Amino acid sequence: MMIYVYGSVIPEATWKEIMNVNKEGTYIGIVVPNAFELKPLLQSPSFVPHHKFPNLDFAGKRFRIGELKKKRVVVVMSGLSMLNSGLSTQLLLTLFNVEGVLHYGIAGNLNPNLQIGDVTIPKYWAHTGLWNWQRFGDGPNDELALEVNGDYSRKYGYLKFSNYNNYTKDSNYSKPVRNLLNNVWYQAEEIFPVNGVPEVRQHAFWVPVHKKYYQIAKQLKNVKLSGCVNTTTCLPRNPSVVRVKKGITANVFVDNQAYREFLNSKFGATPVDMETAAVALVCFQQRIPFIAIRALSDLAGGGSALSNEAALFTSLASQNAFDVLLSFISLLKINS
């Protein structure tokens, strides 16, 4: 018997393993972006690999099966970017009997009122890398290309590049000039929910996390987090867990103060990363409960005493994110 999933053949022996794993009941899926974020989980005594099927390798992914805080879990490292995280999440949901998805990792910080090491849990996530780049000469009152078909809209606002022109004292540049890059308009994703009509699209920009999961996260505010990388490198205060309203994702590493300030003022977002919205969109379409936990590793673009210290604080932020995930999963009641 030949079984195909997304163009890859599942060997019969592997398929039998998957079936045996799924017979044991439902699982919590955990999607982790990178190896350094996965490391705290693998080193935790709270994670116990499955006695018979600890790993399952398929389509370039390794699915780790076991228990975390005595809850059945399947863990997958996605890799960087929207494509990898979305594909990994869909494979996870296709192969295993998953009742909810948890996503954790580090993120850039758009909110200068928070600091490195703080752990954020947003209520909504958006993908801010889908644009309609407006023709030079057109403005906010002009219809976008293909807007009339419902493909694009002006609902979620735009970035005007001329607001960021670099003027000099030269008299030739003393007057405002139009920027040839003009405007980019942020667009919602097209989605096709499993309970919808096939090939009839819907649109989603702000994707909510699961309501029950977000309520549970309210109990995490007193989780003790690490504030020191070593005996000589510590943060100004102990990090904290904060439920925030919005987080955003795009295939862009944001290390620019101007764009950070724009994203924060325009969307009211706090964490910015390169994976979460893809996980959220897949779960939203598949109607699977989802929540994301992101620890801040740097102030995007710098501008504070700590500036952009992602390289220095990556391990601390990764550990803090995992510690909050551990506390969260201990509060979950999963089905049989």
* pLDDT tens, position by position, 70-129: 999 999 999 999 999 999 999 999 999 999 999 999 999 999 999 999 999 999 999 999
Say how far apart CA 17 and CA 28 lie, in whole Å.
18
Domains in the chain, CATH or no CATH each: 12-128+191-331 (3.40.50.1580), 131-187 (no CATH)
- CB atoms < 10 A from the CB of 40, how many? 20
10 falls in which pLDDT band (50, 70, 90)? confident
The answer to whether residue 186 scores a pLDDT higher than 90 is: yes
DSSP annotation string for 265-298: HHH-EEEEESSHHHHHHHHHHHT--EEEEEEEEE
- Helical (H) or strand (E) element with 77: strand 71-77
Task: Tell me, rounded to whole angstroms, the distance of Cα 100 from its chain centroid.
Answer: 15
Say how far apart CA 101 and CA 121 lie, in whole Å.
14
Structure tokens at 289: 């409960």
Write down the pTM of the prediction: 0.94
- CB atoms < 10 A from the CB of 22, how many? 15
The answer to whether residue 7 scores a pLDDT higher than 80 is: no
Say how far apart CA 50 and CA 252 lie, in whole Å.
36
The answer to whether residue 191 scores a pLDDT higher than 90 is: yes
